[in-house]
Structure 1
Amino acid sequence: IWDLEKLKERMPIYSHDQYDGTTRPDEDEHFFDKTGKKIEGAVFTPGSGYVSDPQLSSHNLQVAAEAKGGEFLFNKEITEIRQENGKVVGVTLKSGEQIDAPVVVNVAGPHSFVINQMAGVEEEMNIKTKALRHEVHHVPSPDGFDFEKDGFHTSDGDNSIYFRPETGNTILIGSEDPLCDPKEWIEDPDDYNNQVTESQWKAQVYRCARRIPDLKIPSRTSGVVDLYDVSDDWIPIYDKSALRGFYMAIGSSGNQFKNAPVAGHCMAELIDACEKGHDHDANPLKVKTVYTGLELNMGFYSRNREINPNSSFSVNG
């Protein structure tokens, strides 16, 4: 736990001002007005982190899988989840090619709901997924401070944003989805606006400027727009389905990428157990993690769970 003195020592560019709720700067004329209140401090988690190059890390996982005999197909579209007698038997590609498989796993990200509908399993799920458009923005670090070297991944709940170091001594700013921000749910994950919008740019960057008063705000917007795969309570679904042999690792909501190896281990254990006859719905599988030895109850991630009221209902999970 860092008090304000320690926080100032480690992050001198951070303001200690506390604000009464998150608003949008284009709707709040008092957006930058100080309340006279101060935050209490910060929680420092040195074991935390982030993956700054998901493409490289995904390629590393691909190469590791190929070394074990895995094969990859790219730029292919699935048009059918084939099944016989309540059991999956493979998939059909748009080209007409059929791939036979006794086990199919839906890891389609923001297309997860499309694949579930194709497989005919969505209706029996209590927790479902949708695609949510999200923006992250880039701004330069304040003069005289090397945020790329000395900055931290920071969750600022008071301003409903997170931000972290990015290459070129810049700061990446994302949203923690406050209620005042409109949510844009996407019906077709292959057709959405992938350009940064002025209104959301100002909302997230100006919120960051309240925490970092010396933040340099460029006149031109910069950032990345893509889709989150969001479950009803923003907690992933790692589970079987009503279709035998069809499994799901979905609803990861932008916060599970660095957990992929653990999720993969859990899914492998789950699939192996279910294919051998284990009734996961009646008796949720418990998985022992490889390195820490912690036991994870996979029922927590069930498609049939009730909405978790303790969720942040945001990218924080």
Structure 2
Amino acid sequence: YDEVGVQYEEWDNDKIKKMVPVADLHEFWPVTRPEDPAFYNEPVKELEGGIFCPEGGYVNDPALSAHNIMRAAEAKGAQFLFNAEVVDIRSENKKVTGITLKDGTQIDAGIVVNVGGPHSFKINKMAEGVWEGCNIKTKALRHEVMYCPSPDDYDYLNDGYHMSDGDIGCYVRPEVGNTFLIGSEDPDCDPQEWVDPDTFYAGKGGHGKDNVLSEEQWKAQCYRLGKRIPSLQVPNQPKGVVDLYDCSDDWIPVYDKSDLPGYYMAIGTSGNQYKNAPVVGHMMAQLIDACEKGMDHDKEPMQYKFKYTDRSTDVGFFSRKREINYNSSFSVNG
């Protein structure tokens, strides 16, 4: 934070208790699940404090934010096709030539970018040599977030903060109706369910249970937050959202070219890089332009200069050919 200029304050427990009066500041580590008898052990130690970022925030309406970016793109001449399924990435002479849709429509393009979200790995498999050329792969992870009403005497929507709490393995943020939105930070004890995105989204039409909260995970996340906020009233009826993350092998995105000239990827971003989208778009545009003009990004990775911070980053960090980065959080934490 010091290096990049992010403002922050270090809060001791007295300050946290003043700002978040409903919090129990005992240490509950290691993260466990309600079915584990250790979950109910009485805590002994207290946390050592926390870090508050006054500039921190969250996207509370991803559909609206995506819509806003769509409108901005349209103003620059972009066109969108909805409910248009891609079935083929066409290429000739080892160069991408366009895509084919399920209804037979062919769209010719010398440059194709995979930003397919949870479907990214399926799209890569359609393109000649792309999947095989990626040392880092992506796949779709089923994820659940829960809603839980704020305690009666606490106005979380107006007085609360978005919190990342590794000690209980959850993050929370305010949601409409004065509720907590509770997500898992993917601690080791939480199972990971990798799914076929086509099957998952087919289930959303009422043909399956993929998009229904699981009682076990609902209980785990709500009960963990109940440790931090003892006055939390967990309802009997689970409420929340189930959807998919597009995860790479180390949860760090792939922003890169591919082994098929003209085919590029901005994938594996889910969970921890959503808000970076506008910057990533600018970075990808520069990467594509440089590669199309002959730069060998694999041998001499592009250095991207950020517009507002006057800093640069090595885009090779996000290479498809990198080894797994074991310094990653392997979670939603960027």
Compute the TM-score of the two structures, normalised by the length of structure 1: 0.98
**Unmatched 5+ residue regions in structure 1?**
none
Q: Deviations over 1:250-275 (max 9, x none)?
A: 00131211111111111011001001
Q: Deviations over 1:17-56 (max 9, x none)?
A: 1023111102x22423322110000111122211000111
Inter-partner Cα distance in structure 2 for 1:218 and 1:32: 20
Q: Tell me, yes or no, if the aligned pair for 1:104 and 1:245 is still in contact at 8 Å.
A: yes
**Unmatched 5+ residue regions in structure 2?**
1-9, 201-209
Inter-partner Cα distance in structure 1 for 2:14 and 2:66: 40
Partner of 2:309: 292
Partner of 2:6: none
Q: Tell me, yes or no, if the aligned pair for 1:32 and 1:210 is still in contact at 8 Å.
A: no
Question: Structure 1 counterpart of 2:51, which letter?
Answer: V
Partner of 2:95: 87
Superposed, 1:1-317 pairs within 5 Å as 1-26=10-35, 28-120=36-128, 121-186=130-195, 188-192=196-200, 193-317=210-334
How far 1:224 moved relative to its partner? 0.3
In structure 2, relative to structure 1, the CA distance for the partners of 1:270 and 1:220 (3 Å cut) is same
Question: Structure 2 counterpart of 1:146, which letter?
Answer: D
Question: Structure 2 counterpart of 1:111, which letter?
Answer: H
Inter-partner Cα distance in structure 2 for 1:212 and 1:119: 49
How far 1:291 moved relative to its partner? 1.5
| SS class of match (2:289) | helix
Please give the root-mean-square deviation of Cα atoms over the aligned residues, in Å.
0.9
Inter-partner Cα distance in structure 1 for 2:249 and 2:158: 37
Q: Tell me, yes or no, if the aligned pair for 2:272 and 2:331 is still in contact at 8 Å.
A: no
How far 1:144 moved relative to its partner? 1.2
Q: Tell me, yes or no, if the aligned pair for 1:138 and 1:171 is still in contact at 8 Å.
A: yes
Question: Structure 1 counterpart of 2:259, which letter?
Answer: A
Question: Structure 2 counterpart of 1:238, which letter?
Answer: Y
| SS class of match (1:225) | strand
Q: Tell me, yes or no, if the aligned pair for 1:136 and 1:173 is still in contact at 8 Å.
A: yes
Q: Percent same amino acid among aligned pairs?
A: 61
Inter-partner Cα distance in structure 1 for 2:198 and 2:116: 12
Inter-partner Cα distance in structure 1 for 2:168 and 2:250: 21
Inter-partner Cα distance in structure 2 for 1:135 and 1:272: 38
Q: Tell me, yes or no, if the aligned pair for 1:237 and 1:250 is still in contact at 8 Å.
A: yes
Q: Tell me, yes or no, if the aligned pair for 1:235 and 1:253 is still in contact at 8 Å.
A: no
How far 1:104 moved relative to its partner? 0.4
How far 1:111 moved relative to its partner? 0.2
Question: Structure 2 counterpart of 1:105, which letter?
Answer: V
Question: Structure 2 counterpart of 1:65, which letter?
Answer: A
Question: Structure 2 counterpart of 1:103, which letter?
Answer: I
Inter-partner Cα distance in structure 1 for 2:75 and 2:107: 21
Inter-partner Cα distance in structure 1 for 2:306 and 2:109: 27
Q: Deviations over 1:162-185 (max 9, x none)?
A: 111111111000001111111101
Q: Tell me, yes or no, if the aligned pair for 1:161 and 1:207 is still in contact at 8 Å.
A: yes
Inter-partner Cα distance in structure 2 for 1:270 and 1:129: 21
Compute the TM-score of the two structures, normalised by the length of structure 2: 0.93
Inter-partner Cα distance in structure 1 for 2:57 and 2:94: 42
Query: Please, which moves more after superposition, 213-222 or 285-294?
Result: 285-294
Q: Tell me, yes or no, if the aligned pair for 2:29 and 2:168 is still in contact at 8 Å.
A: no
